[in-house]
Structure 1
Amino acid sequence: MHCWLLFHRELRRGVPEAAEVFRFQQSAAQAGIRLDVLNPRDFELIVDSTEGWSAVYQGRKLAKPDLIIPRTGSETSYFTLAVLRHFERQGIAMVNSPAAVEAVADKLQTLQILSGAGIPIPKTILGKFPVDVGVIERELGFPVVVKTLRGTRGNGVLLCANREQFNDLANLLDGAQSGTDFIFQQYVQASHGRDVRVLVINGRAVAAMERRSTDGSFKSNISLGGVGTAFEPPPDMAELAVRVANVLGLDVAGVDILLDSNGYRICEANSSPGFQGLEKACHISVPDAIFSAMRDRLGLPTSVRRRSSWQTFFAGLATQSPCVWTVAHP
């Protein structure tokens, strides 16, 4: 199998999301998969109705891959979407599709799609200037969550405890008028500092972890110091995560679920979820799971592979803390 992984940052240690790319490289090498890591900005996008396959990268033509894995998430630019659409129209399988990547890059669009499908979400208002504090207080109450539409890894999210704090923030936003769009969202008290990340691959919930903050913050992101532990969700939670991925058209999704007092609410979904914390908590290889699922979907033969250090590690832990389970979409 020949794969491209599209990554928009410099590939070096310490760069956000680079660790996941290194894991894909490690898994591909062990599986006998050819994996090329490419920056979408380095493609020359040439659209010509007289040509068949067209891929020019840093001045040279590339052979057609079997699969493209975008790892640009909520930071996916218009240029990257154009590149993805170009190759999608040329028949290349993708995990995930450009339409799905675009839909979940915008938090409000994600929530609009989910609410239209009857999936529970926190009540949300799109911010506008000047901010009408009365509307926020009437519709959402306080505390209230404030988010940028394209934040990632927990950045661009804060909690306003009361009207006074919100007034200060509103005045700051009104004065800045920076062009950054915000949403205001209902605060789910029962899930303060706690949520569940469910990994869905090809219509199956394959692993989950509970994330908790360690400093009293309402945010539980691992990237912000939260801790993750293996979690076996009830069937209705697993089925909800699968349904979210299906509604959003995601082959691979990290679905973040808030624990409400009378059920669940979907916080967000990610098209290229970080998985360092999930692998550590659940003792699975996420790239292996993705490659295996996509190989099956594409009907490609399984390569003979040697046992990797990760497989050895997981095998040693398998009897201690099993965490891998599957819930198929009905």
Structure 2
Amino acid sequence: MTIEKNLCGAEEWCKFPQLAIPAIKARVDSGAKTSAIHALNIQPFQRDGVSWVRFDVCPLQDNRKTLVNCEAPIFDRRSVKSSSGSSEKRYVIKTSIAIGDQSWDVELTLANRDAMGYRMLLGREAMSGKLIVDPDQSFALGNYSQEQLSELYVPRKSPKKGMKIGVLASNPNLYSNRRIIEAGEERGHEMVFLNIKHCYMKMDAGNPEVHYRGGKVLNDLNAVIPRIRPSMTFYGCALTRQFESMGVFCLNTAEAITQSRDKLHSLQLLFESKIDIPITGFANSPLETDDLIDMVGGAPLIIKLLEGTQGRGVVLAETKKAAESVINAFKSLKADILVQEFIKEANGKDIRCFVVDGKVVASIQREAEPGEFRANIHQGGTASLISPTADEKKIAIKAAKSMGLQVAGVDIIRSAKGPLLLEVNSSPGLEGIEGATGKDVAGLMIQAIEKKLKWKTDASE
């Protein structure tokens, strides 16, 4: 008996009745084996002795305000290779899908697809025996207008009144800044982007002020989230300090940001707190280069500029001669440098623990590109989900506390002698960690402000 198959286009609208999702646009891709749906805040739990998973779906692209809360039994958990080539463990559910006038059960992996063009990927396993794809067509089985989507997705009720929170940064289009603003708005707050270069200050013991371009006085903010790029550290911290003097809560203080940005000072604070770090040397004179190299165990070794960030200003010297050349070159430029032992057994991998309000809320493993020695997703490295050990979590929390940071990205490397702390970042990026873990890290940052200022949502009252 021949089964009639529907002809579909390269993109189609799907429904998931059991998940209460009336419409989600899918990329139909016969080249992909499995299907995936955009999921955030993925949390496994037990119900009557059965493993379930709770997750949120934002079904409309470029719209995080429209959100559906979903629950489903866990069908499987398997390794799936992402488009970046990295493999990660994902939860799999089995649920009913409807496309056009047909419906059937499909397996869906739960993954953060925020950076993708579609919130849903329909792979060939889900299409087998049901659909034939014509890549020249789109929405062959039905389309929705914006008005119809608005009727299907009634906006959620926001809390009656929120706070006014400023994001003090340089680029409003940066993923991390956009996500923080979206997360605050989702929780009912008024979010404003404050460009550091457009702010200026009035120094007055009785009435300190921060003014914004056009003469606007910023005197009605409840909180500020500093997201200061390294090149703006001095002025950005001056502004943060000014807000603090005005009684505005700053998620990270100017003092904490300043000392975390000073690599030498931050390392001194870390070992004062009994946190293990790679053996590190620092000198201001090139006359003792040999002893400086020997004190960290000789070549190969890492050489870092104190002002470097995101992997820039970091060099691997594989021989003593190469190390001498790099050190002397940097010193001739009057650049302050650190030399550090090279942890060969790490194989170009490190762990980024994201700490918010004294807790590790998300963690990823970062892996360097082939031929590189250092994991760096800013320069083409890959990120994948990882569960840090209890010791690694303890180190991350202790490191953030030693810097005085409420929010921190703590980088840890696994060595033969145990976990070693590499660096503490006061403005950690959200894209890699939210993408790999599926967690709403930006929302947790907003919740930390709510907790500090004792602000309650309707749901918590």
2:305 to 126, 148, 151: 148
1:73 Cα deviation (Å)?
Answer: 4.8
Q: Distance in 2 between matches of 1:276 and 1:193?
A: 20
- Corresponding position of 2:431: 276
Q: How many residue pairs get matched?
A: 296
What secondary structure, in the 3-state scheme, does the structure 2 residue paired with 1:268 have?
strand
CA deviations 1:107-146 (Å, max 9, x no partner) are 1111010011111011212242435321123201111101
Q: Relative to 1, partners in 2 of residues 1:244 and 1:73: Cα closer, same or farther, differing over 3 Å?
A: farther
Report the counterpart of residue 318 of structure 1 in structure 2. Answer: none
1:99 positional shift = 0.7
CA deviations on 1:234-265 (whole Å, 9 max, x unpaired) are 11111111111111111011100011102111
Q: Which residue of 2 aligns with 1:125?
A: 281
RMSD of aligned alpha carbons: 1.8
In structure 2, the gaps of 5 or more residues are 1-162
Q: Which runs of 5+ in 1 are unaligned?
A: 13-17, 305-330
Q: Normalization by structure 1: what TM-score?
A: 0.85
The within-5 A match list for 1:166-185 is 166-175=323-332, 177=333, 179-185=334-340
Output the amino acid matched with 1:285: D
In the alignment, the residues of structure 2 paired with residue 221 and residue 279 of structure 1 have an alpha-carbon distance, to the nearest angstrom, of 16
Aligned-residue offset at 1:43: 2.0
Q: Distance in 2 between matches of 1:80 and 1:195?
A: 29
Q: Which has the higher contact order (CA 8 A, sep 6+)?
A: 1
Q: Displacement of 1:102 after TM fit? A: 0.4
Alignment correspondent of 1:116: 272
Quick one: which of 202, 209, 212 aligns to 1:54? 209
Aligned match of 1:163: 320
Higher relative strand content: 2
The 8 Å contact of residues 73 and 105 in structure 1, kept in 2 or not, is answered as no
Q: Say if 1:102 and 1:237 are closer, same or farther in 2 by CA, change over 3 A.
A: same
Paired residue type of 2:252: N
Q: 1:188 Cα deviation (Å)?
A: 1.5
Partner of 2:256: 100
Relative distance call for 1:131 and 1:38 in structure 2 (3 A) is farther
CA distance in 1, matches of 2:194, 2:220: 14
Question: Match for residue 15 of structure 1?
Answer: none
- Of residues 215, 228, 235, the one that matches 1:79 is 235
Matched-pair contact (CA < 8 Å) for 2:233–2:258: no
State the 1:190 CA deviation: 1.9
The aligned runs of 1:199-278 (5 Å cut-off) are 199-278=354-433
Deviation, 1:30, is 2.2
Q: Percent of counterpart pairs with the same letter?
A: 28
Greater gyration radius: 2
C-alpha distance 50-174 of structure 1, shift in aligned 2 (>3 A): closer
State the secondary structure of the residue aligned to 2:410: strand
Q: Distance between the aligned counterparts of 2:247 and 2:427, measured in 1?
A: 21
Does the aligned pair in 1 maintain the 2:269–2:403 contact within 8 Å? yes
Partner Cα separation in structure 2 for residue 248 and residue 82 of structure 1? 18
1:100 alignment partner, SS class? helix
Tell me the TM-score normalised to structure 2 length.
0.61
Work out the CA distance in 1 between the residues paired with 2:284 and 2:392: 34
SS in 1 for 2:202: coil
Partner SS state of residue 77, structure 1: helix
Counterparts in 2 of 1:240 and 1:170: CA distance versus 1, 3 Å:
closer
Tell me, yes or no, if the aligned pair for 1:75 and 1:150 is still in contact at 8 Å: no
Q: CA deviation at 1:229?
A: 1.0
Of 332, 348, 367, the residue aligned with 1:193 is 348
- Given candidates 142, 161, 172, the residue that maps to 1:11 is 172
Aligned residue type for 1:89: S
**Contact 1:76/1:102 (8 A) holds in 2:** no
Q: Which moved more, 1:207-216 or 1:266-275?
A: 207-216
Query: Is contact 2:330-2:337 (8 Å) kept?
Result: no
Pair 1:45 & 2:201 matched: yes
Distance in 1, Cα, partners of 2:231 & 2:252: 14
Residues 253-286 of structure 1: per-residue CA shift (max 9 Å, x gap):
1100011102111000011101211111100111
> Whose helix fraction is larger, Structure 1's or Structure 2's?
1
- How far residue 205 of structure 1 moved from its aligned partner, in angstroms, is 0.8
Shift of 1:40: 2.2
Partner of 1:2: 164
Q: Aligned partners of 1:67 and 1:50: how far apart in 2?
A: 21
Quick check: 2:281–2:338 contact (8 Å CA) kept in 1?
A: yes
Deviation at 1:26, TM superposition (A): 2.1
Q: Distance in 1 between matches of 2:249 and 2:456?
A: 16
